[in-house]
Structure 1
Amino acid sequence: MPSFDVHVSNHHNRVMITVAGELDFDTCPRITQLTDTVSIRNRTLCLDLAGVSFMDASGLSLLHSLHRYTEAEGGTLELSGLQDQPRRILELTATDA
């Protein structure tokens, strides 16, 4: 099984989640568990995906869910550090905007 790591840092108006490994069916629940424990009301949730080289449909679904969740809480979702394969998934599904 490939290595997977997720780390959260909580700042005044921003929650930064750094992910390393594959964003897939097996790993997405770990991110959901983490985001369920931090308040994002009126804050920015930033996902640093520089360490993510692969994302499947589960990862895409997670990003959609996080986007809806942050908007409902009055916040915003930002993605940073997208590698080629995850970026291509977002482009192909027209969700890269």
Structure 2
Amino acid sequence: MPDFTVTVAHDADETVIAAAGELDMSTCPKVAEAIAALPAGNTSLRLDLSGISFMDSMGLNLLLTLRRRLEDSGGRLVLTGVHQQPSGLLRLTGAYSLFDITEAADNLAGSGR
């Protein structure tokens, strides 16, 4: 199984979770663990998918569940760096328009804040 990594960075306004590898049935629990550890009251989450080369239906379900959870608590989910295959899956299922998606991940964790 290829390596899969999840990194988390917090600042005053936002949490950034960056994942790299394939987001599938075997790796979704690692992202779910990181999400479960979000600080209380943190209403903005940026999920950097620039390292995700493949996403299956379990990854899609994770994103939809996370989106609903954040919206129900008045929060906001932003996806960044969505590559061709995950983007294609989001479009194929009609879920693309449900997410706030930005292209660049330049200003994410590690930018000197």
Segments of 5+ residues of structure 1 without an aligned counterpart are none
Match of 2:2 in 1: 2
Deviation at 1:73, TM superposition (A): 1.7
Cα deviation digits, residues 36-85 of structure 1 (max 9, x gap): 11126352111000000100000000000100111122111110001100
Larger relative contact order (C-alpha < 8 A, sep ≥ 6)? 1
- In the alignment, the residues of structure 2 paired with residue 4 and residue 18 of structure 1 have an alpha-carbon distance, to the nearest angstrom, of 11
Match of 1:66 in 2: 66
**What are the within-5 Å matches in structure 2 for residues 37-52 of structure 1?**
37-39=37-39, 41=41, 43-52=43-52
The CA RMSD measured in Å over matched residues stands at 1.1
Q: Could you tell me the percent identity over the aligned residues?
A: 42
Cα deviation digits, residues 76-97 of structure 1 (max 9, x gap): 1110001100000000011111
What is the TM-score of this pair, normalised by structure 1? 0.95
Match of 1:84 in 2: 84
Change in 2 beyond 3 A, CA 1:40/1:24: farther
Change in 2 beyond 3 A, CA 1:40/1:58: farther
Which 4+ stretches in 1 moved above 6 angstroms? none
Equivalent residue pairs, number = 97
Give the stretch that moved more between structures: 3-12 or 37-46.
37-46
